[in-house]
Amino acid sequence: GAVVSQHPSRVICKSGTSVKIECRSLDFQATTMFWYRQFPKQSLMLMATSNEGSKATYEQGVEKDKFLINHASLTLSTLTVTSAHPEDSSFYICSASPRLTFGSGTRLTVV
Amino acid sequence: ELKVEQNPLFLSMQEGKNYTIYCNYSTTSDRLYWYRQDPGKSLESLFVLLSNGAVKQEGRLMASLDTKARLSTLHITAAVHDLSATYFCAGSNFGNEKLTFGTGTRLTIIP
């Protein structure tokens, strides 16, 4: 079956620093990657959609300069949380299309 | 804009009992998905429903779709403790895999 690898699974960083999260499709080419955010005990909210080789499309209310998304190849998309603050602490999950497979998620804690 | 509502938000039920989780959506949805999420984990795909009247079953879980009523249900038969988790429905439209999630139902099965 389709596998999407997401790293790291957990990260703790200091306020003001940047964190990069990687999402790799291991056995298929992901033309599109979706990035979701899930706050504790809440649902998943789409942050952005990225297509290989083009700029990401961000959902309303998501700061594109804060959440940098790169989709430079058909198997790798990255989300960088820049100048992280405690309110960015959340569970971040990617999914890859066309197989609609979710990564294992990244628990980000900003202290 | 697609909106997805789920109820109940919380469900506590005894082992051996039956219950149904409801998922209503606001506009035409190409597909309706059901996922399971265990605490601290990513999403596990349960069902994808593509057409009106679709019914799928796996073990003690059965999902159905009524596109005219814009309603999907997830029925649990003779619940067992292992089914304790949060269940999400999600819809997509316009032929892409950008998902709009419901609020989730936190299911607790009591021995």
pLDDT at B111: 87
Contact list in B for residue A34 (CB cut-off 8 A) is 97-99
Residue type, B35: Y
Q: Which residues of chain A have pLDDT under 70?
A: none
Dump pLDDT digits (tens) for A34-47.
Answer: 999 999 999 999 99
Chain B residue with Cα closest to A58: B98
Q: List, for residues B49-68, the tens digit of each pLDDT value.
A: 988 889 999 999 999 999 99
Rounded Cα gap, residues A81 and A78, in angstroms: 10
Structure tokens at A59: 């959902």
Please measure the distance between the N-terminal and C-terminal CA atoms of chain A and give it in whole angstroms.
37
The Cα of B101 is separated from the nearest Cα of chain A by a number of Å equal to: 6
B101 at interface of A, judged by CB pairs closer than 8 A? yes
Q: Which two tokens stand for residue A78?
A: 């990255």
**How far apart are the CA of B69 and the nearest CA of chain A, in angstroms?**
23
- B80 burial type by CB count under 10 A (0-12 exposed, 13-18 middle, 19+ buried): middle
